[in-house]
Structure 1
Amino acid sequence: MTPSLPTAPRAATRAARTDRTWMVALAASLWGLSALWRGPLARELPSLTIVFWEHVLLVILVSPWLLPALRRLRAARPGTVAAVLVIGAGSSALATVLFTAAFRMGDPITPQVLQKLQPLFAVALAALILGERLRPRYAAFLLPALVGAWLLAFPDPLAVGVSSAQAALLAVGAAALWAAGTVLGRYASAELRFRDLVALRFTIGLVTLGLLVALTSTPLQVPRTAYLPIVLLVLLPGLAAMVLYYLALGRTPASRATLAELAFPLTAALVGVVVFGTRPVPTQWLGIAIVLVTVVALALHEQRSSTPAVVSRDRADVDA
């Protein structure tokens, strides 16, 4: 009798025990709670003020990682340094400001569900920045997602209001910048560790926000009633969700992680309906469904298909 027979069930048991899909779902649920605090804050304070104080607290929390990260950054290639600067200034500072501003102009559900467009932006940016190749079938995922986003963003898709258009554009801009951070993070991770990227991201973001505050003369005073919501934003949808997500990702199959991430828009929708009394119209629910189905379909297709819509640079070179 070969030893491989009895070990197979044990291996499956170990895999089941180490699977962390539940952690991805928990992280995604924490992201979905963001509207509980970001929405009310955005209606009382400038978006720049909120995001500035978020970054102050985040930099304090990751400060033990900062000096080693700066040493590694100094030894990195110019391309890596440029990527980190864009991640900090764009994906951390500007994206969060845009996302927060979207809550002031729109409902508490739309800005969050539109973040599910990030994978589509990330795929296109990976082709542009990392040299990955897009096949024509990518359009089969992109076009339905854009239709779904349009239906979601506008209660009457044929009569677009200025306020709803601004909110949607702000949210989509944030999604694009966060997607750029994902792609550039992959590029920079060849020389920097996860903790280096986190520390540098928030620190550069804080410096950028400080410059924007100075240039725009944005007031930084916040009422005492805002202290707790800002702290909760930092600890729950911010740091806790990020740590849970990255701890889980290495031990969670991509297909399961993608499905578990649906907890994000579902939680956001639940918070919007139950807490804030938002009532999406039927076409908006249809838009939510189209966006979610498209993103899940893209993830499953890329994992399982022998001819994915996106070809990595190495594979593209081989095919050529």
Structure 2
Amino acid sequence: MESVGKGMKVSPLEKKKEGRMKSGFWLIVIGAALWGADPLFRIILLKENMTATQITLIEHIILFIIMMPVLWKHRSELQGLKLRHIGALLFLSWGGSAIATIMFTRGLSSGDLNTVILLQKLQPLFAILMAKLLLKERLPKHFSWLLIIALAGTYLLTFGFAFPFGNISNFTQVGSLFALIAAALWGGSTVMGRLMVGQMQPVTVTSLRFILALPLLIGITINQGDPWLVATDAGTLTAVSINLLAQALLPGLLSIFIYYKGLTTTKASVATLAELSFPMVSVLINWIVFNQVISIAQAFGFVLIWVVLFIISRNSST
């Protein structure tokens, strides 16, 4: 294909392709931003004496009921799947949807929250490594520097200008290890998702991600044998039910569907930077819900990340 230089006309086909890439990038930004509300739902449910596995199981039961008819409608897409596609689907469902969600939820309940959030910023490193190894992706120009700037922005969002480690043991606690496992699995899921949206429609990938995870979650829940502490009064039960439903549909189903839709035209290595919209939404939620005013350092980190997102979106076709 002939390169387009200064003063040269861009064909309508090239313009259309570039537009799809840019819109796909911003769809991932929106989908990841919806994940920013997820910890809010989980923390509320943890306060109701529900375990991380129980929360994740109920969430997937709700999504199973919703997505099973969708999968049945698109069942023809399951034909001709190769072994690598089955492996990718199992990684997405068992690793990214089941185990990673449990690990992150347990991290929120047993570890330092700032440390757990910071460790999630390692997702791009895992995703970039797997994208280069499995998808043979060529990174955009100056990608390494943009990644460093984006990670610096997430650092400022989490800790400001202060050095966070009063004691290095914060990063060796059980909650931190849970968060690290979640970061690795979610980073890998970005790559596996990119592989699968080239094989089937985003709605089908979304359905399989949640449906295939359910048997594993049932087995883990039974094996753990934790008691179910169900609220007895109608008010609390209603509030918990609404919370579970909202969590499953908003940061769960809707965000993943939008995310996979954007992933159809976006490299996994680029998508992982778009996912950094998550911490920005988390900061806004802390400000609005918990009255935690955004500091100058956090505002600066916010700007850094959005500058990187803008530059990457402008060059996502390279």
How high is the TM-score relative to the length of structure 2?
Answer: 0.70
Is the Cα–Cα contact under 8 Å of residues 123 and 187 in structure 2 kept in the other structure?
yes
Q: Offset at 1:96?
A: 0.7
Q: Offset at 1:150?
A: 7.4
CA–CA distance in 1 between the matches of 2:59 and 2:202?
Answer: 20
C-alpha deviations, 1:216-244, integer Å up to 9, x for none? 11334543142111111011111222334
Q: How is 1:152-167 mapped onto 2 (pairs within 5 angstroms)?
A: 152=158, 156-162=164-170, 165-167=173-175
C-alpha deviations, 1:154-210, integer Å up to 9, x for none? 973241344884434323321221121121122233433322221111111111101
For residue 165 of structure 2, what is the amino acid of its counterpart? Answer: P
Matched, 1:214 2:218: no
Q: What's 1:308 paired with? A: none
Q: Does the C-alpha gap of structure 1 residues 207 and 178 become closer, same or farther in structure 2, counting only changes over 3 Å?
A: same
Q: How is 1:43-62 mapped onto 2 (pairs within 5 angstroms)?
A: 43=47, 44-62=49-67
Deviates more, 1:146-155 or 1:61-70: 146-155
For residue 86 of structure 2, what is the amino acid of its counterpart? Answer: V
CA–CA distance in 2 between the matches of 1:51 and 1:240?
Answer: 16
For residue 100 of structure 1, what is the amino acid of its counterpart? Answer: T
One of 97, 110, 119 as aligned partner of 1:105: 110
Counting aligned pairs with the same residue, the percent is 30
One of 184, 188, 196 as aligned partner of 1:176: 184
Is the Cα–Cα contact under 8 Å of residues 95 and 173 in structure 1 kept in the other structure?
yes
Is the Cα–Cα contact under 8 Å of residues 118 and 176 in structure 1 kept in the other structure?
yes
Q: Does the C-alpha gap of structure 1 residues 276 and 164 become closer, same or farther in structure 2, counting only changes over 3 Å?
A: farther
Q: What's 2:130 paired with? A: 125
Q: Offset at 1:95?
A: 0.8
Q: What's 1:318 paired with? A: none
Q: Offset at 1:59?
A: 0.9
**In structure 1, the residue corresponding to 2:290 is in which secondary structure?**
coil
One of 66, 75, 92 as aligned partner of 1:87: 92
Q: What's 2:316 paired with? A: 303
> Unaligned regions of 5+ residues in structure 1, if any?
306-320
One of 243, 249, 259 as aligned partner of 1:235: 249
Deviates more, 1:85-94 or 1:32-41: 32-41
CA–CA distance in 2 between the matches of 1:41 and 1:180?
Answer: 27
CA–CA distance in 2 between the matches of 1:286 and 1:142?
Answer: 18
Matched, 1:30 2:34: yes
Q: What's 1:265 paired with? A: 279
CA–CA distance in 1 between the matches of 2:149 and 2:42?
Answer: 29
Q: Does the C-alpha gap of structure 1 residues 26 and 294 become closer, same or farther in structure 2, counting only changes over 3 Å?
A: closer
CA–CA distance in 2 between the matches of 1:262 and 1:252?
Answer: 15
CA–CA distance in 2 between the matches of 1:250 and 1:110?
Answer: 32
CA–CA distance in 2 between the matches of 1:194 and 1:166?
Answer: 35
Is the Cα–Cα contact under 8 Å of residues 25 and 261 in structure 1 kept in the other structure?
yes
> Unaligned regions of 5+ residues in structure 2, if any?
1-8, 232-236
Q: Does the C-alpha gap of structure 1 residues 74 and 116 become closer, same or farther in structure 2, counting only changes over 3 Å?
A: same
For residue 183 of structure 2, what is the amino acid of its counterpart? Answer: A
Q: What's 1:40 paired with? A: 44
Is the Cα–Cα contact under 8 Å of residues 111 and 175 in structure 2 kept in the other structure?
yes
How high is the TM-score relative to the length of structure 1?
Answer: 0.70
**In structure 2, the residue corresponding to 1:198 is in which secondary structure?**
helix
CA RMSD of aligned residues (A): 4.6
